[in-house]
């Protein structure tokens, strides 16, 4: 059974930084592209960033480009999202998901990021 567990969320002031982690199990992790998707309170799903299994391909939404960095450690079966220069509109639940060509399939339970002073 595939399991994804996010961690690292919390309360941060505007302009601050956070690093989210997502630990995967039950799959050959290095074979999977991974994606971060966020959901602001009461809003819909928004794609944030994706990273191929071998890190050859990395993509970011325009809303986070230059501020967020996605990375992975295949030896630790983990993917990360470094978030800098955080703004109020970054407040959301952040989900990691495995991402085959058809779109995200397995999702974690999410971690809440709140940007507020």
Partner 1 sequence: QSALTQPPSASGSPGQSVTISCTGTSSDVGAYNYVSWYQQHPGKAPNLMIYEVNKRPSGVPDRFSGSKSDNTASLTVSGLQAEDEADYYCSSFLGTHNIFGGGTKLTVL
41 binds partner 1 (CB under 8 A): no
102 binds partner 1 (CB under 8 A): yes
Nearer to partner 1, 11 or 58 (CB): 58
111 binds partner 1 (CB under 8 A): no
Q: Is 34 exposed, middle or buried, given 0-12, 13-18 or 19+ CB atoms closer than 10 A?
A: buried
Task: Using CB under 8 A, pick the residue from 46, 69, 91, 114 that binds partner 1.
Answer: 46
Nearer to partner 1, 66 or 103 (CB): 103
47 binds partner 1 (CB under 8 A): yes
Question: Rounded to 5 degrees, what are φ and ψ at 5?
Answer: -130, 115
Q: In the numeric block, which tokens belong to residue 38?
A: 């966020």
Identify whether the C-beta of residue 111 lies closer than 8 Å to the C-beta of residue 8: yes
CB atoms inside a 10 Å sphere around CB 81 = 26
Q: In the numeric block, which tokens belong to residue 94?
A: 């952040």
Residues that bind partner 1 (CB under 8 A): 35, 37, 44-47, 50, 57, 59, 95, 99, 101-110
């Amino acid at each position: 059974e595939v399991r994804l567990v996010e961690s690292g969320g919390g309360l941060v002031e505007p302009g601050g930084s956070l690093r989210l982690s997502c630990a995967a199990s039950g799959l050959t992790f290095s074979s999977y592209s991974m994606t971060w998707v966020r959901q602001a309170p009461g809003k819909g799903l928004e794609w944030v960033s994706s990273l191929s299994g071998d890190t050859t391909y990395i993509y970011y939404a325009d809303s986070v480009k230059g501020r967020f960095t996605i990375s992975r450690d295949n030896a630790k079966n983990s993917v990360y999202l470094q978030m800098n220069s955080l703004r109020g509109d970054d407040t959301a639940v952040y989900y990691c998901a495995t991402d085959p060509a058809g779109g995200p399939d397995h999702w974690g339970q999410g971690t809440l990021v709140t940007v507020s002073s």
